[in-house]
């Protein structure tokens, strides 16, 4: 990681929650889609400075949890509070405005815009001036623009993407695009970061880089994170606590070691002896 000064760290982590309770609290959430129960009895808290991972096989409900947190889906039962406020029924952009930033499984960047402009889009909650000032380019608008550009440059240094800053993101390697998407989320100065499969599709070197940046965000910026990821090595290395899901239900929450050794988790991932065929298929 590039060396960053303490005032830069303070700027980049300005949204961090410093209240006494958990930054996010999910209680007994149930989410149904006509015949399908996507989530049932889901409860967890995430605390300041915590890296909380959600794991589970395909269809276990991980993305549904992210969609409930970020306001895309409204659960039929349960409560969700963010920084002490209920966010059920709030629109996704309102929840983002409260300080919840998200990266996506499939990269969602503006391919024709360069890196700086993509990051600037993450700053729109921090614009701080109305259109009359913008049209006349008055002092307030100019000062906010300078401040926003400076924040973006700090993030570019932090994520080591200086070499690409003026290039259209569509031309950049996949691993760099994933890093830019993370940068756009950081540009929001979030109080909570949701990372949806941040290393999906990456090679070994790109995965190591991303793991290092996630650890740097935790150690330097102290932003709590919720990580959904299929790469178990990464989850077990990075997470403070893990929630394992299966068929929309929580199996266990605990430290990575506790979760990895839990019989229900082993069964969900590997199956039991009962699930294996009685006979070896003949050659
Ligand atoms: N909009 C929807 N309409 C109907 N069913 C849905 C919808 N979204 C999710 N589901 C169902 O909810 C269940 C959980 O899906 P979800 O995408 O949350 O799982 P996941 O753990 O994220 O899976 P993956 O690892 O494959 O991304 C699945 O049975 C899925 O088909």
**Architecture of the 6-273 domain:** 3-Layer(aba) Sandwich (3.40)
- Residue-wise pLDDT tens for the chain (283 aa)? 455 566 666 666 666 666 678 999 999 999 999 889 999 999 999 999 999 999 999 999 999 999 999 999 999 999 999 999 999 999 999 999 999 999 987 777 888 899 999 998 877 665 555 555 555 555 566 677 788 888 999 999 999 999 998 999 999 999 999 999 999 999 999 999 999 999 999 999 999 999 999 999 999 999 999 999 999 999 999 999 999 999 999 999 999 999 999 999 998 887 765 554 445 444 3
Cα(63) to centroid(ligand 1), Å: 7
Atom 24 (ligand 1) nearest CA: 58
CA of 55 to the centre of ligand 1 (A): 13
- pTM, two decimals, is 0.85
**Contact between 80 and 86 (Cβ < 8 Å):** yes
Does residue 119 come out as left (phi exceeding 0), alpha (psi in the -120 to 50 range) or beta?
alpha
| Count of other CB atoms within 10 angstroms of residue 256 | 18
Q: Tokens for 100, please give them.
A: 């919840």
Distance (angstroms) between ligand 1 centre and the Cα of 9 equals 37
| Ligand 1 center–CA 73 separation, angstroms | 12
Confidence at residue 14, expressed as pLDDT on a 0 to 100 scale: 63
Closest ligand 1 atom to the C-alpha of 248? 14
Q: Nearest residue CA, atom 29 of ligand 1?
A: 59
Q: How far lies 70's CA from each of 48, 49, 104, 216, in Å?
A: 18, 19, 12, 24
CB of 63 closer than 6 angstroms to any ligand 1 atom: yes
The answer to whether the CB of 36 is under 6 A from ligand 1 is: yes
User: 60, 66, 105: which to mutate for ligand 1, most atoms within 8 A of CB?
Assistant: 60
15 Cβ contact partners less than 8 Å away, ≥ 6 residues apart: 99, 188, 189, 190, 191, 223
List C-alpha distances in Å: 274 to 43, 249, 267, 277.
30, 21, 10, 8
* Alpha-carbon gap, residue 165 to 167, rounded angstroms: 6
CA of 105, closest atom in ligand 1: 27
């Amino acid at each position: 990681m590039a060396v960053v000064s303490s005032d830069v760290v303070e700027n980049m982590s300005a949204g961090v929650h410093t209240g006494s309770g958990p930054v996010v609290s999910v209680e007994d959430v149930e989410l149904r889609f006509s015949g399908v129960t996507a989530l049932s009895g889901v409860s967890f808290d995430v605390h300041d400075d915590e890296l909380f991972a959600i794991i589970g096989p395909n269809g276990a409900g991980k993305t549904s949890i992210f969609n409930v947190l970020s306001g895309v889906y409204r659960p039929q039962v349960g409560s969700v509070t963010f920084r002490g406020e209920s966010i059920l029924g709030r629109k996704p952009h309102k929840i983002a405005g409260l300080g919840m930033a998200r990266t996506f499984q499939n990269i969602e960047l503006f391919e024709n815009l360069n890196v700086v402009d993509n990051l600037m889009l993450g700053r729109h909650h921090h614009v701080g001036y109305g259109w009359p000032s913008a049209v006349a380019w008055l002092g307030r608008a100019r000062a906010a623009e300078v401040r926003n550009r400076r924040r973006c440059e700090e993030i570019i240094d932090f994520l080591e993407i200086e070499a690409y800053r003026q290039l259209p993101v569509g031309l950049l390697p996949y691993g760099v695009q994933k890093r830019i998407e993370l940068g756009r989320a950081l540009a929001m100065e979030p109080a909570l970061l949701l990372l949806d499969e941040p290393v999906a599709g990456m090679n070994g070197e790109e995965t190591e880089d991303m793991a290092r940046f996630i650890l740097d965000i935790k150690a330097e910026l102290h932003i709590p994170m919720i990580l959904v990821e299929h790469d178990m090595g990464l989850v077990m290395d990075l997470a403070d606590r893990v929630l394992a899901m299966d068929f929309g239900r929580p199996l266990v929450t605990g430290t990575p070691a506790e979760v990895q050794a839990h019989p229900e988790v082993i069964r969900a991932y590997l199956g039991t002896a009962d699930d294996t065929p009685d006979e070896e298929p003949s050659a």
